[in-house]
Amino acid sequence: MTTGLRLDFANLGLDDYDRVCEALNFPSDWPDGLLAHTAVEVDGRLRVMDVWESRERFDHFVQERLPAAMREAVGDRAEPPEVTQTELHAFYSR
9: left (phi over 0), alpha (psi -120 to 50) or beta: beta
Residue 61 lies in a domain: yes
pLDDT in tens, 4-57: 999 999 999 999 999 999 999 999 999 999 999 999 999 999 999 999 999 999
Segment 62-69 shows an average pLDDT of: 95
Are 81 and 89 in contact, with CB atoms under 8 Å apart? no
Segment 77-91 shows an average pLDDT of: 94
Residue 94 lies in a domain: no
Residue 25 lies in a domain: yes
Domain count, the chain: 1
- Give me the domain span that covers residue 63: 3-87
Residue 27 lies in a domain: yes
CATH number of the CATH domain containing 45: 3.30.70.100
